[in-house]
Amino acid sequence: MSKDYRVAILGATGAVGTELLHLLEYRNFPIAQLKLLASPRSAGKEMTFKGEKFVVEPVKDGAFDNVDLVLASAGGSTSKEWAPKAVEAGATVIDNSSAFRMNEDVPLVVPEVNPQALELHKGIIANPNCTTILMAVAVYPLHKVKPVKRIVVATYQSASGAGARAMEEVKTQSQEILAGKEPVTEIFPYPLAFNLFPHNSPLNNFGYCEEEMKMVNETRKIFDDRALRVNATCIRVPVLRAHSEAINLEFYTPVKPDEAKDILKLAPGIKIVEDWQTNYFPMPIEASGRDEVLIGRIRQDISHQCGLDLWLCGDQIRKGAALNAVQIAELLVEKNLMQPVRAQLTT
Amino acid sequence: MSKDYRVAILGATGAVGTELLHLLEYRNFPIAQLKLLASPRSAGKEMTFKGEKFVVEPVKDGAFDNVDLVLASAGGSTSKEWAPKAVEAGATVIDNSSAFRMNEDVPLVVPEVNPQALELHKGIIANPNCTTILMAVAVYPLHKVKPVKRIVVATYQSASGAGARAMEEVKTQSQEILAGKEPVTEIFPYPLAFNLFPHNSPLNNFGYCEEEMKMVNETRKIFDDRALRVNATCIRVPVLRAHSEAINLEFYTPVKPDEAKDILKLAPGIKIVEDWQTNYFPMPIEASGRDEVLIGRIRQDISHQCGLDLWLCGDQIRKGAALNAVQIAELLVEKNLMQPVRAQLTT
């Protein structure tokens, strides 16, 4: 008989937190006790889990006492502050922020790709960046059979990646523009409605933004392949909650589209969406609310004999964040890896 | 003293036709006589040119008698039918459709790139595809100095590429979705508001859509470089009238970003838009209504030593169509190439 766990969600009121709560219920995660935590600003809000009302508590010292599992999605600085304390208090933390992802002592896990990495965890497990997760699910099954040398990816990222308020902002801006008014910007630096712009995370000296470097470095870590080369261009588009990616793969040896399709058909977490007669391929509105990464337009790159193109859409909040975290939690249960571990993190 | 020309616009009432009329006035093209032509459905509509009202006439036999220059933007089948007749009647035709672009006897011209190609025209000159024009303006100045071996491009194409009604459809669908209604689709096969999808032109046996093959074949023809390799992924996005492109260039030898930037700064038809501190780069709302192709995020591709990335936005209706056609017309005047030419087209 399976044990039940005392679970806390940190950042429960955000877009990902809300989805975490939904998925824990929907997937019937074995919960003995649930605690919803958020910043003092969001504390006091009521949320429902399996018909029962829970009041969101402010995160504070002692909040993680008697908690087995923390699902954290409250931003990097919150995670940096509270995740080590939660581990210290005996909990295992699955962290959705970028705070610990590149830490050598922290496994960075996509369950379909590198579940084995979980076994070495020291209390904190990092949930990868959303665009990275979606690409990893799509590319790894191919990479495992025919190694990928280089990825050139351009993204079409929805507003949800910047949170629930960003999604509202796009809708409000659309209304303003349709009414002939100037759109108001609060979350994003520029209007996103009927517009798009490069991802507005800080740029490094090479001109790559943080989001792009996440795709580069996290993919290498998840694939455990430091030779893999990745070039990413991340663009925010006026879509609500699913990301899309145009992925160009260069393999070491030629890979036929049919061969790739046969591999992807059998791969976990993927649904092939292709009707070449009607130009029907993955679309963000159809990926929204779905678990699978939708993949289509698998075709030979006519500019390179070892090249292959594919197009994907995936729910940014679900597989790009909350679902991946819950799948990690399920793996911890399955592998019996959620015992208290004393932190030995080099932060 | 310059001669004035008898000009006809075929497809005057469309998005591009309207812009053609505007640009002929704005740029003070030497017009002796103006004729506005459209399908019988649009005939009868009144349009204004330099304060004078013109009634749109239906295109029919004899419509091109005593016309020196035809600017055609009424779709491929209309051009196929009427362009040869116009040439037969003594006019020179600048055609915005894809009907004649790959015809060996027809120059395919971007004035900033291959103005010399005009000199061999036999009555019809083709205006390239919009995404192709924007990419050509951005890439050719680099290619001329340091040859490009391969281009991998992902596009973010606005609704305007499918015409004025498509732009209205995105706005209407946005209103419907914001009001909680199902969006109605008429022009596009799928809802475009808060969504995006691969360009819905017919797909070839390799899985490339027509729009993508235009970028491949037209770029090679404009650059007069059949060795150039191009891989394109064309995506329609919920933006109104400017296209964006994420372009990855592979040169034969390494090109530093600063070197590329210096070349592009001096190149015609380009404006560099970059503020790395504020993540300010080209955006479609800022490219709309402008002549220049906005280019930014010129950076080393960290996945390839001969790779370089750039990001561009350009007004699809203006430089992507109407402006390029008017610039061709201006070149014809300047080079005195608009004399009647008997057609010897191999159609």
Residues of A in contact with B245 (CB under 8 A): none
Percentage of the residues of chain A whose pLDDT score is greater than 90:
95
Q: Kindly identify which residue of chain A lies nearest to residue B180, measuring between CA atoms.
A: A171
The string of pLDDT tens digits covering residues A207-239 is 999 999 999 999 999 999 999 999 999 999 999
Taking contacts as CB-CB distances below 8 angstroms, the residues of chain B near A156 are 156, 196, 235, 237
Q: How far apart are CA B148 and CA B230, in angstroms?
A: 10
Task: Identify which of B178, B286, B297, B184 has the alpha carbon closest to the alpha carbon of residue B247.
Answer: B297
pLDDT tens readout for residues B10-57: 999 999 999 999 999 999 999 999 999 999 999 999 999 999 999 999
Nearest to A86 by CA among A16, A199, A10, A26: A10
Residue A343, pLDDT score: 41
| The CATH number of domain A131-316 is 3.40.605.10 | no
Higher-pLDDT residue of A347, B326: B326
Q: pLDDT tens-digit profile of B270-325?
A: 999 999 999 999 999 999 999 999 999 999 999 999 999 999 999 999 999 999 99
Return the CATH number of the domain spanning residue range A5-128+322-334: 3.40.50.720
Which of A168, A236, A239, A299 is the mutation pick for testing B, counting most B CBs within 10 A? Answer: A299
pLDDT for A2: 57
Which of A279, A286, A304, A306 should be substituted to probe chain B, the one whose Cβ sees the most B Cβ atoms within 10 Å? A279
Predicted confidence (pLDDT) per residue in B201-260, tens digit? 999 999 999 999 999 999 999 999 999 999 999 999 999 999 999 999 999 999 999 999
pLDDT band at B346; cut points 50, 70, 90: very low
* Residue A339 confidence class, pLDDT cut points 50, 70, 90: low
Q: Note whether B284 and B243 are within 8 A (CB).
A: yes
Answer whether B302 sits within 8 Å of A229, measured CB to CB. Answer: yes
CB contact under 8 A, B175 and A171: no
Pick B311's closest partner by Cβ from A170, A198, A257. Answer: A198
The minimum CA-CA distance between B95 and chain A, rounded to whole Å, is: 27
Q: State residue A180's pLDDT score.
A: 97
What pLDDT score does A142 carry?
98
User: Residue B129 carries which side chain, given as an amino acid letter?
Assistant: N
User: Which residue among A195, A235, A309 sits closest to B246, beta carbon to beta carbon?
Assistant: A235
B259 min Cα distance to partner chain A (Å): 14
Nearest CB to B196: which of A216, A244, A297?
Answer: A244
Q: How far is CA B300 from CA A21, A338, B309, in A?
A: 42, 43, 6
- Percentage of chain B beyond pLDDT 70 is 97
Cα–Cα dist A186/B295, whole Å: 26
Q: Measure the CA–CA gap between B320 and B96, rounded to whole angstroms.
A: 10
Q: Which residue has the higher pLDDT, A2 or B316?
A: B316
Which amino acid makes up residue A175?
Q
Cα distance between residue B309 and residue A209, in whole Å: 13
Say if residues A297 and A309 touch (Cβ distance below 8 Å).
yes
What is d(CA B347, CA B344) in angstroms, rounded to the nearest whole number? Answer: 9
* A304 a catalytic residue: no
Domain covering B131-318, topology: Dihydrodipicolinate Reductase; domain 2 (3.30.360)
Alpha-carbon span A206 to B282, nearest angstrom: 18
Chain B residues in contact with A302 by the CB 8 A cut-off are 206, 208, 216, 229, 231
**pLDDT above 60: residue B345:** no
Helix or strand run (H / E) with residue A44: none
* Greatest alpha-carbon span in chain A: 61
Chain A: residue whose CA lies nearest to B200? A279
* Residues A331, A115: Cα–Cα separation, whole Å: 8
Contacts of A307 in chain B (CB under 8 A): 231
Q: What angle do CA A122, A123, A125 make, to 5 degrees?
A: 95
Distance CA A307, CA A202 (A): 31
- Which helix (H) or strand (E) segment holds residue B281: the answer is none
Q: What is the DSSP string of B278-329?
A: TTB---HHHHTT-SSEEEEEEEE-TT-TTEEEEEEEEETTIIIIIHHHHHHH
Mean pLDDT of chain B: 95
Question: What does the domain layout of chain B look like in residue ranges?
Answer: 5-127+322-334, 131-318
What residues are paired with B243 via a beta bridge? B314
Between chains, do B171 and A178 touch, taking CB under 8 Å as contact?
yes
**pLDDT tops 90 at residue B343:** no
Burial class (CB in 10 A: 0-12, 13-18, 19+), A14: buried
| Chain B residues whose beta carbon lies within 8 Å of the beta carbon of residue A215 | none
Which two structure tokens, joined as six digits, stand for A314? 């995936």
**Each residue's pLDDT tens digit, B77-111:** 999 999 999 999 999 999 999 999 999 999 999 99
What is the spatial order of strands in the sheet that B242-251 belongs to? B229-233, B148-156, B242-251, B307-315, B293-300, B270-272
Query: Which CATH class, in words, describes the domain spanning B5-127+322-334?
Result: alpha beta
Interface contact flag, A152 B239, Cβ < 8 Å: no
pLDDT above 50: residue B1: no
Question: Residue A319: is its pLDDT beyond 60?
Answer: yes
- The radius of gyration computed from the CA coordinates of chain B, to the nearest angstrom, equals 20
Q: Is the dihedral of CA B233, B234, B236, B237 positive or negative?
A: positive
Predicted pLDDT of residue B340 = 52
Residue A341 has pLDDT above 50, yes or no: no
Say if residue B2 carries a ligand binding annotation: no
